[in-house]
Structure 1
Amino acid sequence: MNLLIALIPALGWGLNPLLISKIGGKPVNQTLGTGIGALIIGIIVQLMNHPSVSTGTFILSALSGAFWVLGQIGQYTAYGRMGVSKTMPISTGVQLIGTSVIGVLMFGEWGGVTAKVVGFAAIILMIIGVALTAVTDNSDSRAGLASGLAVLLPTTIGYWIYSALPKAVSASGMAIFFPQMLGMCLAALLYALIAGRGLSAFKERSSWLTTAAGMIFGVSALAYIFSAKANGVATAYVITQLSVVISTLGGMLILHEHKSRRELRLTLIGLVLIVVGSIMTAVL
């Protein structure tokens, strides 16, 4: 049962990019629907458990969720410019690298020389893995890659902050779950009003269809909290890294994103390096 719980976030976060791409719509529709869907799960959890947090923790958790939206906007935009199968390994790798470095510099993680050597070796592996998944043979694809990276890389800062802020508070994952989902929804609403130039995004069908993806994200995030408690943080975290494999392979098999034989070979090698690197950081 514990293993099944651990697989829920891997499946949910792996299949979500495929579902969102199938539904279609613009990034503003996808972001709005995701935010609303995530809040629905957050409200259900809050009503069932009634966890309480201090005002400061609530605000930091909500800010964490809001910064997640920044990262998600970049990811959704990159889907359209360079495809899911290229976006997801690059995005995941850069997230892992950034959160690992922040953990060391700000929270004193990887204590001891051995841990730091192994940790930074893992970062090097992930950097190589990201570089391999980004290799593109087609000139048109290179233009899409450059355009996608131009928005994906700077917005990944949002994911880093999303991961870092909860470490600054002394509260359980369940306690900060609702304020995080609320922050996501409020930030998504604000983005929709600005990027959608008013209420137009609220009237479009794709926005409301994407709420299903937001609910899947919320359920996956909730399952991760239970998995971390049942299996330990390291094990739970490592299993979730299967999500990048699912989304990358799904982009090719389900969304029919084409890769040359060389691109496919390098992408698979890159995925292995990213997953191995993440496992190395998780067990430190």
Structure 2
Amino acid sequence: MAYLIALIPALGWGFMPIITGKIGGSSANQTFGIGAGASIVGIIAFLIMRPQVSLAAFLFSLVCGALWSTAQVGQFISFKRMGVSNTIPLSTVFQLVGNSIIGVLFLGQWAGAKSLIIGFIALLIVVIGALMTSVSDGQSEKKVTTANFLFLLMTTVGYWIYSTFPNLPLVKNQDPVGVFLPEVLGIFIGATLYATITTKGANWKQKENYLNILGGLSWGIAAFAYIFAARELGSNTAFIFTQLNVIIATFGGILLLHEHRSAHEMKFTVAGIALIVIGSICTIFA
């Protein structure tokens, strides 16, 4: 049962960009939908489970959730610039490499020469895989350029903060279910501010603003399930299962969103995805 639960985050996070891509709308509509949908999941979970959380941890989680929304905005903009099938592999690699480096420098992970060697070899495999998925024949309008690459990298900082904060002393000993609600409420606040400011309130009259809540429900269910997967299997094993979302989102973008790939590009994409998954698995041995 624990392994089935661990598959939920992979499915939810993998299908989220497919759902929002199918619905369409602006990055403001899509970001608002994620915040609103995730908040619905968070409120229901909080009312049913009634977890305990301190005021300080609540407020801190709220801020971290708002910072996460900045990264999600960057990802949605990148979907439109590069396509889902290009963005997700790169975003996954940026998150994995960034979180690993933060873990080594500040959280005492990969202690010892052997762990460092294994860890950085695994990250090198992941980076090579990401570069392979970005190989382009130049025929598609949605492709990885230097500007698009750097934009996605810079906005990924919000994901790094969000991923690191559960290990900080203020929230480390809190019930994960307890901090889940303020996290998603922070996402909702950040998303609402972004959508309202960038569209000057026009988003509230657009149906895509509300249809994209379906993508938010997918994301929220995945994030909530991950809490229990990590409890049952450990965060390392649970994380490996989440990497399946790269496969779902990448090939879903190609097949369901009709993002063009030539036969030559597909060979590199398949090989690159395989390396990303292999490298991610290798990090647990570091």
Interval of TM-score (by shorter of Structure 1 and Structure 2)? over 0.9
- Verify: 1:239 aligned to 2:241, yes or no: yes
Matching residue's letter, 1:29? N
Matching residue's letter, 1:26? S
Task: Using the TM superposition, give the Cα deviation of residue 85 of structure 1 relative to its aligned residue in structure 2, in angstroms.
Answer: 0.7
Percent identity of the aligned residues?
Answer: 45
Matching residue's letter, 1:12? G
- Verify: 1:90 aligned to 2:93, yes or no: no
- Verify: 1:206 aligned to 2:205, yes or no: no
Specify the SS of the correspondent of 1:151: helix
Moved more, 83-92 or 54-63: 54-63
Which residue of the partner structure matches residue 228 of structure 1?
230
CA distance in structure 2 between the aligned counterparts of 1:276 and 1:37, rounded to whole angstroms: 32
Specify the SS of the correspondent of 2:261: coil
- Verify: 1:259 aligned to 2:261, yes or no: yes
- Verify: 1:128 aligned to 2:131, yes or no: no
Going from structure 1 to structure 2, the CA distance change for 1:266 and 1:143 (only over 3 Å counts) comes to closer
* Maintained 8 Å contact 1:11/1:243: yes
* Maintained 8 Å contact 1:136/1:142: no
Moved over 6 A (4+): none
* Maintained 8 Å contact 1:81/1:147: no
Which residue of the partner structure matches residue 101 of structure 2?
101
* Maintained 8 Å contact 2:16/2:215: yes
* Maintained 8 Å contact 1:77/1:151: no
Matches within 5 A, 1:36-185: 36-138=36-138, 141=141, 145-168=145-168, 169-170=171-172, 171-185=174-188
Matched residue count:
283
CA distance in structure 1 between the aligned counterparts of 2:27 and 2:142, rounded to whole angstroms: 21
Q: For 1:40-99, what per-residue CA distance to the aligned partner results, in whole angstroms no more than 9, with x for missing partners?
A: 111111111221222221122112211211111111011111111111101111111101
* Maintained 8 Å contact 1:234/1:283: no
Moved more, 203-212 or 223-232: 223-232
CA distance in structure 1 between the aligned counterparts of 2:144 and 2:9, rounded to whole angstroms: 29
CA distance in structure 2 between the aligned counterparts of 1:175 and 1:184, rounded to whole angstroms: 15
Specify the SS of the correspondent of 1:245: helix
CA distance in structure 1 between the aligned counterparts of 2:199 and 2:78, rounded to whole angstroms: 18
- Structure 2 spans left out of the alignment, 5+ residues: none
Task: Using the TM superposition, give the Cα deviation of residue 141 of structure 1 relative to its aligned residue in structure 2, in angstroms.
Answer: 3.9
Task: Using the TM superposition, give the Cα deviation of residue 144 of structure 1 relative to its aligned residue in structure 2, in angstroms.
Answer: 5.9
- Verify: 1:195 aligned to 2:194, yes or no: no
Which residue of the partner structure matches residue 252 of structure 2?
250
Matching residue's letter, 1:138? G
TM-score normalised by the chain length of structure 2? 0.95
Matching residue's letter, 2:43? I
Matching residue's letter, 2:204? F
CA distance in structure 2 between the aligned counterparts of 1:173 and 1:122, rounded to whole angstroms: 29
* Maintained 8 Å contact 1:91/1:152: yes
- Structure 1 spans left out of the alignment, 5+ residues: none
CA distance in structure 2 between the aligned counterparts of 1:142 and 1:26, rounded to whole angstroms: 16
TM-score normalised by the chain length of structure 1? 0.95
Specify the SS of the correspondent of 2:156: helix
CA distance in structure 2 between the aligned counterparts of 1:132 and 1:111, rounded to whole angstroms: 30
Moved more, 73-82 or 148-157: 148-157
